Homo-oligomer: A and B are copies of this chain.
Amino acid sequence: MTEHEERVARRGRPSASSRETLEEAALELFLEQGYEQTSASDIARRAGVARSSFFNYFTAKADVLWVGLDPLLAEVPPRLEAAATELVAGGAPKRGDGLATLRKVLLEIADTVQPETVRWAGSLRSVAGTSADLAATGTKRALAQQSALTDFLARAEPGLGRLQRTVCAGSIISATIAATVFWIEEGPTRGSFSSVVDEASAPIFLAYSAE
């Protein structure tokens, strides 16, 4: 039994927090021996759970890199879907209505970001910064978000053509990614996450809301 396993055993963590134990074990191992060198089995062993338990919580090792962000990302599509339905139910949306709603939803979600999430994101980014997994899984998430935003704009901002909707959505995703990296790098002097997202995305929202 490793020192960490003993600590976990002593604490007698309830099984409800297996997920958190796996997350902590993963970050420890990534820091100790590198992201590439750590397997899902290593993480399960360190967390004191069966290998199959790892796959109850994650589909792959790379999923651990997104533990702080995935719950936020998961909120975007259903909230935009609900917002579009509400807008359309109120009659044909006016030019700029969809973008104003999109901005409001994104900043509301950004407002729920906790400081621990940022510490996690910063640590995981630094340990996995050069891994192909980070690029591949990040691209997958960015494209899924871009698709959700593009679909929203098709319903809620009918004045934008297909090409412009795609570029607008991609630019807002770019702005959100840049804001996240900027916020992590700025350290304690940064303002709230949502204020940085707002600053980063304001020119995009302005550009596409204009007549």
Residues of A whose CB lies within 8 Å of any CB of B are: 132, 135-136, 138-140, 143, 162-164, 166-168, 170-171, 173-175, 177-179, 181-182, 196, 199-201, 203-204, 206-208
Give the residues in chain B near A136, CB-CB below 8 Å: 132, 135-136, 139
Instruction: Give the dominant DSSP class at A's interface.
Output: helix
Interchain nearest-CB distance for A179 vs B (Å): 7
Interchain nearest-CB distance for A129 vs B (Å): 12
| Copies of the protein in its oligomer | 2
- Contact in complex: B208, A182 (CB < 8 Å): no
- Of B170, B203, B207, which one neighbours A178 at CB under 8 angstroms? B170
- What residue of chain B has the Cβ atom nearest to residue A183's Cβ? B163
A sample of 13 cross-chain residue pairs with beta-carbon separation below 8 angstroms, ordered by A number, consists of A132-B136, A136-B139, A138-B139, A163-B200, A166-B178, A167-B175, A167-B201, A167-B203, A170-B175, A171-B171, A173-B174, A203-B208, A207-B207
Give the residues in chain B near A196, CB-CB below 8 Å: 163
- Contact in complex: A167, B200 (CB < 8 Å): yes
Give the residues in chain B near A174, CB-CB below 8 Å: 167, 170-171, 173-174
Q: A171-B174, A171-B204, A204-B207 are in contact. List 19 more A-B contacts (CB 8 A).
A: A135-B135, A135-B136, A135-B139, A138-B139, A162-B182, A163-B179, A164-B203, A166-B178, A166-B181, A166-B182, A167-B178, A167-B179, A167-B200, A170-B174, A170-B178, A171-B175, A174-B174, A203-B207, A206-B207
Interchain nearest-CB distance for A131 vs B (Å): 10
In angstroms, Cα B130 to Cα A136, docked, is: 12
> Given that A171-B171, A171-B175, A175-B171 are contacting pairs, would A200 and B135 also be in contact in the complex, using a CB cutoff of 8 Å?
no
> Given that A136-B135, A138-B139 are contacting pairs, would A178 and B206 also be in contact in the complex, using a CB cutoff of 8 Å?
no
- Contact in complex: A199, B163 (CB < 8 Å): yes
In angstroms, Cα B132 to Cα A136, docked, is: 7
